[in-house]
Amino acid sequence: MEENNVNMPLLGDDFPQMDVVTTHGPMSIPGDLKGSWFVIFSHPADFTPVCTTEFVGFQEKMDEFEEMGVKLIGMSVDQVFSHIKWVEWIKEKLDVEITFPVIAANDTIANKLGMLHPGKGTNTVRAVFVGDPEGKVRLVLYYPQEIGRNMDEVVRAVKALQVSDGNGVAVPANWPNNNLIGDRVIIPPASNQKDAAERLDKYDGYDWWFCHKEL
């Protein structure tokens, strides 16, 4: 019997090429997403309570994702007709219209992303993949089946990546509400003694290796 290879994309890798079926029709990923930031999140199964709360939670953040230019896509190994029926159920019972596409992944696609947990049968783990406009994997989060995700953190992380890329800075813990420097951003550390000696003359900071500024 041929053994399936389970791969987990690393940060900075190209997002694996996938031709997929979705509730909005066929898609080629990441090709169809080129030029946009994107969030692909997997869920264990349709018609399950935690996953339903997550779908509603992600939909409630759609305005923020769109404002950031981020495309949101769901995914599980359920067949597309199951996705369609579940999305209809959410609209009918919870009065929430799911506007993002949902991928019907097969085992090959799920294995490309390390989504199938060997000890959990055929259900997929709760994974979040953030990709940049070049199709590079920039952030990966994995949650167990029992724990629902925090949508605010997904939004925050994408926003932080965009700020970091656009300004050549780092962002602190809990940004933009850090308990030391608030919504300020961190200057990359000095790379030589001359820069280190001048750093505190140019920026606010605690030391030459910990300087920050307004965004």
Active site residues: 51
Pairing label, strands 210-213, 126-131: unpaired
User: Nearest Cα to 136, choosing from 1, 28, 11, 7?
Assistant: 11
**Separation CA 143–CA 42 (nearest Å):** 10
Instruction: Tell me whether residue 199 is annotated as binding.
Output: no
Going by the annotation, the residues of the binding site are: 126
Q: Which residue ranges are tagged as binding site for substrate?
A: 126
